[in-house]
Amino acid sequence: MTTAIPTLPRLPVPDLHKTLRGYLKSLEPFLLEEEARGGPDFKNAYDARLKLVEDFEGGLGQLCQRRLLELDKSSPHNWLDDNIWLKKAYHEWRAPLIVNSNWWLALVDDPNVPGDVRNPSVERTGYTRWQVRRAAWLVHRVLDFKAQLERNKIHPDTTRTGLWFRHAALQFYNTCRIPQHGCDHLSPLPSAADPHARKVLVMAADWMYAMEAVGHDGSPVNPATLERRLRAIVHDVQTRLAKGERAVPVGVLTTDDRDRWAENFHHLLSLSQSNRSIFDTLTSTVFALSLDDYAYTLPPSHRTPDKDLAAHLHNIRSGHGSRPGHNRWYDKPFTLIVEANTRAGVLGEHSPVDALVPSVAADYAIVQGVDDDAFPESVESGLLGAQVDSDTTGWERLDWVTDDRIAQECDHAAIRAKEIVDESDVDELVFTGYGINWIKNEARLSPDAYIQMALQLAWYRTRGEFTATYETALTRLFKHGRTETIRTLSADSRAWVLAMADPQCSNVKRLELLRRALQTHTALTRQAATGRGIDRHLLGLRLMIRADAGESHALFEDELFTRSQSWKLSTSGLSAGYQFRGTGFGALYHDGYGI
């Protein structure tokens, strides 16, 4: 009996008429709100947009749709991912990656780490024994996840979900974003014979090292060997610091405006052939590990219910508050971060893959705590001193050749990074009143839609207005599917929020309106997940307009077209179990939220 190998369908080009009608529907809450605040009459304003839509659909829109269908036919996988998404969503953005684009995950504590290590009675700086052990264990686990994936042992390609996940998960290993003027790109995957493809980039005190971490058969190096090599690297760092040496923090340049970083990047490579070799090594490494010689704490003036949690989130997102951006390479898609007290997390450049996918790898890494049997020697609490048994093989320094210009640019980039970080807070509400089980089983409502409505109400109560709201939907039903937008703000969500704000409205009416809003949101979610969303299609249609041939349309020049996509409330669900203390990404606007 032959078992059919599953395949994933191509992401469809949505129906033009349905997309434009969906777009009109999404404008209703904005137009209703304008009318309620003394602006244009709803019907007149709606009819004006209807006229734009009908004109586009009957003319230039048909031509754009045909061009999009032709593009799809000539694309190996799908029209969006092959041609548009990386460039328009990520690589053409010139804004710094720190806060603005990278995602982060704060991992739960390892229960096998002694309490006096995780919560020392006296704060201290320096690398610790348990920090290095946990780092070695996490590196091994992430590499084991990759090996199991490549061998089809987990998430096998015998299922459609496995097909989608396997392709997606292998995108964040062994690559790096490369800065270029106007539009960045990703480094090509190294060949199987490339020895650097079996290494991990290690950063400590702004110095960089390449550590051999994968065997020739693709299996991860055992945790004890990784620990010895990390100890040796830390010992090398300590020796250099003791001599008064300080690294030029080249990694800080990756936090800068992308065009400025591109300019400095090309200058850096021009200084020495060895810099080109270092960069080739860096891009080929499987992923990165940052060892921080501190456990970050928030200043006393910072108000938050859980200072340890908030400090953890801050450090994973952007590093030490007084010197953000140090000891990181923001262009790497997956960076493990381990602090001196063993707090750990992951930071990732967003373009190769969406955060849910690497979060599964992180979940695999921490679901099993440090295994004492994997290490022949017990480890004590305390700082890591000189190691006479350090492994002198299996790792190498990556020492950049720099000049005064690069050193000065690092200083300036660090100042700009601190300005960005100081303008953006990160915190978390731990709500214990009820959760998904109550919402599903008792209230019998959709948890995702329920929480989205809560966010709509919270925004309105604190701002007194409504805003365009983005929620991510994964298009994982399709080959190389990425994401689509769910426009959470709808006429129905607005009606419910206003009912909650009206003291004369009964709870019976409020519940009725809530159910209607939830049904609308669930329908929008289903459409987005099944390739029938509107925003990626609108983007594709707009890009098919040939401005150089004099083509344009007022539909895309309407201020409401822009305002309806100004996501001051940007949200993304990341449900990967109990292994994360917190997750996050930055707000798109200074007066917005990334949730």
Residue 128 sits at φ, ψ, to 5 deg, of -115, 160
Q: CA-to-CA distance for 542 and 525, rounded, in angstroms?
A: 23
Q: Report which of 191, 162, 201 is spatially closest to residue 357, judged by C-alpha positions.
A: 162
Q: CA-to-CA distance for 418 and 314, rounded, in angstroms?
A: 12
Q: CA-to-CA distance for 378 and 380, rounded, in angstroms?
A: 7
Where are the alpha helices (H) located in 291-422, listed in sequence order? 307-318, 356-366, 404-422
SS (H, E, C) 237-276: HHHHHHCCCCCCCHHHHHHCCHHHHHHHHHHHHHHCHHHH
Q: Report which of 111, 240, 253, 100 is spatially closest to residue 178, judged by C-alpha positions.
A: 253
**Annotation marks residue 350 as catalytic:** yes
Distances in Å between the alpha carbon of 419 and those of 323, 368, 574? 11, 38, 28
Instruction: Say if residues 491 and 32 touch (Cβ distance below 8 Å).
Output: yes
Reduce the DSSP state of residue 192 to 3 states and report it.
Answer: coil
Instruction: Produce one character per residue of 563-588: b if its CB has 16 or more CB atoms within 10 Å, e if not.
Output: ebeebbbbbbebebeebbbbbbbbbb
The bridge status of strand 469-474 relative to strand 569-571 is: parallel
Angle, alpha carbons 159-160-166 (nearest 5°): 85
Q: Where is 582: in which H helix or E strand?
A: strand 580-585
Q: Report which of 412, 483, 492 is spatially closest to residue 103, judged by C-alpha positions.
A: 483
Reduce the DSSP state of residue 118 to 3 states and report it.
Answer: helix
Q: Is 431 left (phi over 0), alpha (psi -120 to 50) or beta?
A: beta
Distances in Å between the alpha carbon of 584 and those of 170, 395, 587? 22, 33, 10
359: which 2 tokens? 């979060």
167: which 2 tokens? 């392709």
Q: CA-to-CA distance for 298 and 304, rounded, in angstroms?
A: 10
Number of Cβ atoms within 10 Å of the Cβ of 455:
17
Reduce the DSSP state of residue 221 to 3 states and report it.
Answer: coil
Which one from 350, 480, 521, 537 is the annotated catalytic residue? 350
Q: CA-to-CA distance for 153 and 144, rounded, in angstroms?
A: 11
Q: Report which of 208, 205, 214, 209 is spatially closest to residue 173, judged by C-alpha positions.
A: 214
Helices (H) and strands (E) in the chain, counts: 20, 14
Reduce the DSSP state of residue 288 to 3 states and report it.
Answer: strand
Q: CA-to-CA distance for 490 and 471, rounded, in angstroms?
A: 13
User: Which residue's entry shows tokens 């490369």?
Assistant: 178
What are the catalytic residues? 350
